[in-house]
């Protein structure tokens, strides 16, 4: 008992210590190299010790975490990390996340966690409005777009088989009518993973060819018969391009197919008036997956799924058990999520949306796109080939052949001013610049561009 009381008394200094260490870490991001230090990464091997036999003081545990962990991180919380379309975390979301962690609520059910269910309910309504989705679509916070795709496709699988007289939740896929799944040739790898998990098959898909920007060619969508699901994309991971939603939805719906949108980052164009024409028609789809941890800049992990036919998502996800409270008409998050027990992801999103407001979200998204255009202009101006139409936040640049491009990327990562990765775009090696963070300023772009040009020019002169 005394131990427990001591444990509680010890909480405050520990949380203060964590806050101090975190503040110190964040304040240092501007000065340190963006990539993790090689020595610090090597030192991580020292963590692989036997589990200590006896307790250790909590402050010593935290100190060790900071000493080993912080120098070995990627500075993706800073303004000059441009890899993987990952985004940062707005300070208000980090703070809200800490407070909600202290609450330690299980966000499955409003009876057990009324506060977090209420914050999520409101955040989901705001998100539907902001993203221009149907007001009565079901929504849920999941771990990321991978899981958002999985949940939406589970709802799709339910609905298209129910229309064929088959109850997939009860009877599984054995003996079920086959489902035709259509994807674009540029569909994200996580979509295939979701298809595999759901028994729809990673390879058992009809692939529609794409154009030079990675957009599905609507005229190549085949006629569909029987249970069918068409998967489209808002925001290609390389080019940022959008599939032609209006045509694809019209054709797919004419044939009775379900249309699912993977909009991990691109769906946020809907929240920015200046970009909304890019995603025109996306609201005609049947389901949508997106991330809050990418462009809304909340901490991991935070993805979203929305499904027009709320009953389809509920049928695929709901859980009942004698010990679980029945909540009557109250909205129950776990009726729509793959998990039962779950952290309060919606709190972070609620905090971001409250702090930014509608105009702040639009400004964040539009500012990232303006930064991407500045990169493209600077690179083109210096004579380098930008391989994509820079319509969103993605820039693909080539520094010559694959070897030259790879060499520039390696040297840039070692230099540490900024961090960009390698990709392949329609047969060409390219450096990919993804601008996705609230923290990126004009000066970050200028500093990064200067480093890229300095390194590229040095190497190409050799």
Ligand X SMILES: *Cc1c(COP(=O)(O)O)cnc(C)c1O
For ligand X, which residue of 264, 296, 397, 435 counts as binding (CB under 6 A)?
Answer: 264
Contact pattern from residue 73 through residue 92 relative to ligand X, giving x for each residue in contact according to CB under 6 A and a dash for the rest: ------------x-------
Note whether 294 and 135 are within 8 A (CB): no
Cβ distance to ligand X smaller for residue 189 or 427:
189
Cβ distance to ligand X smaller for residue 88 or 227:
88
- Which of the stretches 139-147, 214-222, 356-364, 398-406 binds ligand X when contact is defined by CB under 6 A? 139-147
Cβ distance to ligand X smaller for residue 143 or 417:
143
Instruction: Give the nearest residue (CB) to ligand X.
Output: 144
Cβ distance to ligand X smaller for residue 262 or 444:
262
Judged by CB under 6 A, the chain residues 287 through 306 that form the site for ligand X are 291, 303
Cβ distance to ligand X smaller for residue 233 or 405:
233
Cβ distance to ligand X smaller for residue 78 or 235:
235
394 binds ligand X per the rule CB under 6 A: no
146 binds ligand X per the rule CB under 6 A: yes
Judged by CB under 6 A, the chain residues 201 through 260 that form the site for ligand X are 235, 237
- Which of the stretches 151-159, 213-221, 262-270, 370-378 binds ligand X when contact is defined by CB under 6 A? 262-270
Nearest distance from C-beta of residue 264 to ligand X, angstroms: 3
How many residues contact ligand X, by CB under 6 A? 13
144 binds ligand X per the rule CB under 6 A: yes
Nearest distance from C-beta of residue 161 to ligand X, angstroms: 24
Cβ distance to ligand X smaller for residue 332 or 393:
393
CA distance 343 to 143: 10
Q: What is the 3-state secondary structure (H, E, C) of the chain?
A: CHHHHHHHHCHHHHHHHHHHHHHHHHHCCCCCCCCCCHHHHHHHHHHCCCCCCCCCCHHHHHHHHHHHHHHHCCCCCCCCECCCCCCCCCHHHHHHHHHHHHHCCCCCCCCCCHHHHHHHHHHHHHHHHHCCCCCCCEEEEECCHHHHHHHHHHHHHHHHHHHCCCCHHHHCCCCCCCCEEEEECCCCHHHHHHHHHCCCCCCCEEEECECCCCCECHHHCCCCCCCEEEEEEECCCCCCCECCHHHHHHHHHHCCCEEEEECCCHHHHHHCCCCHHHHCCHHHCCEEEEECCCCCCCCCCCEEEEECCHHHHHHHHCCCCCCCCCCCCCCCHHHCCCCCCCCCHHHHHHHHHHHHHHHHHHHHHHHHHHHHHHHHHHHHHCCCEECCCCCCCEEEEECCCHHHHHHHHHHHHHHCCCECEEEEECCEEEEEEECCCCCCCHHHHHHHHHHHHHHHHHHHHC
For ligand X, which residue of 166, 192, 245, 265 counts as binding (CB under 6 A)?
Answer: 265
262 binds ligand X per the rule CB under 6 A: yes
Nearest distance from C-beta of residue 193 to ligand X, angstroms: 9
Nearest distance from C-beta of residue 432 to ligand X, angstroms: 11
CA distance 430 to 267: 24
Which residues make Cβ contacts (< 8 Å) with residue 217, sequence separation at least 6?
208, 209, 210, 211
Cβ distance to ligand X smaller for residue 146 or 388:
146
Cβ distance to ligand X smaller for residue 120 or 456:
120
Cβ distance to ligand X smaller for residue 168 or 368:
368
For ligand X, which residue of 145, 180, 297, 423 counts as binding (CB under 6 A)?
Answer: 145
For ligand X, which residue of 109, 116, 190, 239 counts as binding (CB under 6 A)?
Answer: 190
Nearest distance from C-beta of residue 140 to ligand X, angstroms: 14
434 binds ligand X per the rule CB under 6 A: no
Nearest distance from C-beta of residue 145 to ligand X, angstroms: 3
Which chain residues interact with ligand X by CB under 6 A?
Answer: 85, 144-146, 188, 190, 235, 237, 262, 264-265, 291, 303
């Amino acid at each position: 008992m005394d131990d427990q009381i001591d444990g509680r008394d010890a909480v405050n200094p520990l949380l203060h210590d964590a806050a101090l260490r975190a503040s110190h870490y964040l304040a240092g991001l501007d000065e340190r190299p963006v990539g993790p230090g090689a020595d610090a990464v090597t030192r991580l091997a020292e963590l692989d010790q036997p589990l200590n036999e006896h307790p250790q003081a909590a402050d010593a545990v935290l100190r060790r975490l900071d000493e080993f962990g912080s120098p070995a991180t990627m500075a993706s919380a800073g303004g000059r990390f441009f890899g993987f379309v990952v985004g940062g975390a707005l300070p208000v979301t980090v703070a809200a996340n800490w407070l909600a962690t202290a609450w330690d609520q299980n966000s499955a059910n409003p009876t057990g966690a009324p506060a977090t269910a209420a914050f999520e309910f409101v955040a989901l309504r705001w998100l539907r409005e902001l993203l221009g989705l149907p007001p009565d679509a079901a929504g849920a916070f999941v771990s990321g777009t991978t899981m958002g795709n999985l949940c939406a496709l589970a709802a799709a699988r339910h609905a298209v088989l129910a229309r064929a007289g088959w109850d997939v939740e009860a009877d599984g896929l054995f003996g079920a009518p086959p489902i035709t799944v259509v994807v674009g040739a540029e569909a994200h790898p996580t979509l295939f993973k979701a298809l595999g998990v759901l028994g729809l098959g990673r390879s058992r898909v009809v692939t529609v060819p794409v154009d030079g920007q990675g957009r599905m060619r609507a005229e190549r969508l085949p006629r569909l018969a029987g249970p069918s699901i068409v998967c489209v994309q808002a925001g290609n991971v390389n080019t940022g391009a959008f599939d032609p939603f209006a045509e694809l939805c019209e054709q797919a719906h004419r044939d009775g197919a379900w249309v699912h949108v993977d909009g991990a980052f691109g769906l946020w164009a809907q929240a920015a008036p200046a970009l909304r024409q890019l995603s025109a028609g996306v609201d005609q789809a049947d389901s949508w997956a997106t991330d809050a941890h990418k462009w809304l800049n909340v901490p991991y992990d935070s993805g979203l799924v929305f499904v027009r036919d709320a009953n389809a998502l509920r049928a695929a996800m709901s859980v009942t058990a004698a010990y679980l409270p029945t909540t009557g008409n109250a909205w129950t998050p776990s009726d729509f999520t793959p998990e039962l027990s779950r952290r309060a992801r919606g709190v972070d999103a609620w905090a971001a949306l409250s702090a930014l407001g509608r105009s702040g979200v639009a400004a964040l998204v539009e500012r990232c796109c303006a930064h991407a255009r500045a990169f493209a202009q600077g690179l083109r101006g210096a004579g380098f080939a930008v391989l994509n139409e820079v319509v969103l936040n993605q820039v693909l640049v080539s520094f010559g052949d694959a070897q030259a491009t790879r060499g520039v990327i390696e040297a840039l990562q070692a230099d540490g001013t900024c961090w960009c990765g390698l990709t392949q775009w329609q047969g060409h090696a390219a450096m990919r610049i993804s601008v996705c963070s609230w923290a990126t300023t004009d000066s970050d772009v200028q500093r990064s561009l200067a480093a890229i040009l300095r390194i590229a020019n040095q190497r190409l002169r050799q």
